[in-house]
Amino acid sequence: MSESEATVEPPESANEFAGEYAPRELSPLETLRHSMAHLMASAVAQLYPGTRFGVGPHIEHGFFYDMAITEPVSVEDLPRIEEKMREIAKSNLKFERSFLDRDEALVWCEQTGQDFKAEIIAGIPQGKISFYKHGDFTDMCAGPHVNYSSKLKHFKLTAVSGAYWRGDDKNPQLTRIYGVGFESKEELEAHLKMLEEAARRDHRKLGRELELFSISQEFGGGLVLWLPNGAFIRKQIEDYWREEHLARGYQLLFSPHVAPYALWDRSGHNEHYADSMYSPIDVEGQLYRLKPMNCPFHIGAYKHRQRSYRELPMRFAELGTVYRFERSGTLHGLMRVRGFTQDDAHLFCTSESLEAELGGCLDIAQTMYRTFGFPEYKVELSVRDAKNTKKFMGSDEIWSLAESTLAKVLDDRGIPYTRMEGEAAFYGPKIDVKVVDAIGRVWQLTTIQLDFTQPDRFDLSYVGRDNTPHRPIMIHRALLGSLERFFGILIEHYAGDFPLWLAPEQARLIPISEKFVDYAREVEAAMRAAGLRVKLDDGDEKMGYRIRRAELEKVPYALVVGAKEAESRTVGVRRRHAGDLGAMALDAVIGRMKDEVERKAAL
């Protein structure tokens, strides 16, 4: 029942709405960025009179504001808005706070035409409404803000997009303008450089150029068509994934894509997860729903027959395709899709083996991070919000035990973590692991979720040593999150330059001229016999052009053959990022490449 489908995109408006106007404490950097959002809003108000404002929160690395602007705004307009922001900031305007009664605030909304703010007021409890003013611009906001606008110096507007009001596509679509902001010029410049590099690595661009995958409205928004090159890399990932799981005592499953509506009632999804599920399907008078998660089916595999304590721990794993409703405005390449394949697993164990099983989940996760080239990662422990327990299933005692167990496993292994209040799944706390990519971005991959609730709901049991029934404990676990999203991360991490063991084409054979094609075919046959993936480029173009083409297509090895190579039974070797390695005996080249593949060497 993993919920590891995360994204680097900012959260949608439902959370922003609450965070923007609820009383809160912000760090100095968050306060700076939030103030920059209001500075941007004031600039837009001057440039586009009559603009109506939604929400403008700080986010990671910066800020944005959702606005109903009186004219269309594109990225070409951002320098003009940014220039106006700097002009206002230099005026050293004071951010002044004031309060209005609820009725007075509604009058203000009516007088200023701020209908979105009036809607916000309707959701705020009775009391005083907070406003902030700098210069001629007043905005309803809980704050806090910097004291003076002159403190807002190091920012850059970066993007424009559409965003439905409060994240609902039935509401008006607003213009969302993004910006980044930092405390120093050096931090801003470093971040902008990172953004340039991120654009170069964009998996959507590389996916097209390298023919890895396709997503189009014609075949369904958020639904991925894996092209041959991408499908081959996916196969390599899946084969490795299965090998690791089988070696660690997991049993593989395949489960259906739909299930009766009643099953999702029993699991709690209809009550707690319906907003992310597709509408029911009527089949001969019985309702079904597309599965958003695999766990009820794994529970079904466990319940197939009576279990004994001798069978536990029992580890089921599946590369299971699931479907979740994502609004069209949130879809983003492979990073947020509507149909995806989770590398899912569910473990059933006793209380005595629980800590060891949790530790085993961390072990296999760390192994995979190293193999795929992610040595650095961060860990979070997501727990229940003790002030809002109604949205979580299970007793206080169960939650206390589950949270303390996860914390102990991390502590015993010396793994530092951040405690995330209120971020648990509705049925149990979880460990989330986020890897750091080649340019310093953080991506969530692994989720390990402890569940004492589903075994009760499905009346799971095993016969213990005392010959009486006992309740197993259930662990929900995904390592890579989903194959789609992980593949997108992998593309950007390596900028499309995949390690040799993953590359769909490992070597490109380039004969200098037509006279040496026969020898090139001998080399090709020998390499294929050794299990290597090689393609012969015997086109009419000049050799330099063909070498350059192999470089652009990110083929790891370019092997050149001519008269000297044919006579000495060698090949001229060029390795991406290493350059010309000179002539090597064919057996030596094959041995080198096979060793690199077998070690699953990262770049």
At 166, give phi and psi (nearest 5°).
60, 25
Place of tokens 């991390």: 410
| CB count in 10 Å sphere of residue 78 | 19
Is 361 noted as a catalytic residue in this protein?
no
- What is residue 512's three-state secondary structure? coil
Report d(CA 243, CA 383) in Å as an integer: 32
134 as an active site residue: the answer is no
Cβ proximity of 46 and 84 under 8 Å: yes
The DSSP result for 165-205, as a single string, is GGG-TTSPEEEEEEEEEESSHHHHHHHHHHHHHHHHH-HHH
Which is catalytic among the residues 52, 234, 336, 476?
476
Residue where the block lists tokens 């164990």: 349
Is position 324 annotated as part of the catalytic site? yes
DSSP 313: S
| Cα gap 330→325, rounded to integer Å | 10
Active-site option among 34, 324, 332, 338 = 324
Question: What region, left, alpha or beta, does residue 574 occupy, with left being phi > 0 and alpha being psi -120 to 50 degrees?
Answer: beta
Q: Is 521 left (phi over 0), alpha (psi -120 to 50) or beta?
A: alpha
Residue 438: partners with Cβ closer than 8 Å, 6 or more residues away: 493, 494, 495
Catalytic annotation present for 346:
yes
Catalytic residue among 109, 295, 349, 361: 295
Q: What is the dihedral of CA 414, 417, 422, 428, to 10 degrees?
A: -40
381, 493 contact by CB (below 8 A): no
Per annotation, catalytic residue among 52, 176, 269, 346: 346
C-beta of residue 173 within 8 angstroms of C-beta of residue 163: yes
Q: Which of 114, 342, 366, 506 is catalytic?
A: 342
Q: Where are the beta strands (DSSP E) in 384-529?
A: 418-421, 430-436, 442-451, 462-463, 469-470, 473-482, 507-511
Separation between Cα atoms, residue 44 and residue 270, nearest integer Å = 42
Q: Which amino acid is at 435?
A: V
Instruction: Say which residue the tokens 């007075």 belong to.
Output: 104
What angle do the packed helices 354-372 and 228-247 form, to 10 degrees?
A: 140
Phi first, then psi, for residue 181 (nearest 5°) are -155, 145
Amino acid at 512: I
Tally: H helices and E strands in the chain? 19, 29
Partners of 503 in the β-ladder: none
Which of 61, 84, 176, 430 is an active site residue? 430
Q: Taking Cα atoms as reference points, which of 338, 293, 321, 319 lies closest to residue 474? A: 293
Reduced to 3 states, what is the DSSP secondary structure of residue 435?
A: strand
Cα-Cα end-to-end distance for the chain = 34
Q: Residue 31's Cα: distance from chain center in Å?
A: 26
Contact assessment for residue 20 and residue 56, using Cβ atoms and an 8 Å cutoff: yes
Q: Which of 66, 344, 451, 537 is catalytic?
A: 344
Sign of the alpha-carbon torsion through 349, 355, 361, 364: negative
Q: How many alpha carbons lie under 13 Å from residue 341 in its C-beta half-sphere?
A: 18
Positions annotated as catalytic residues are 295, 324, 342, 344, 346, 430, 476
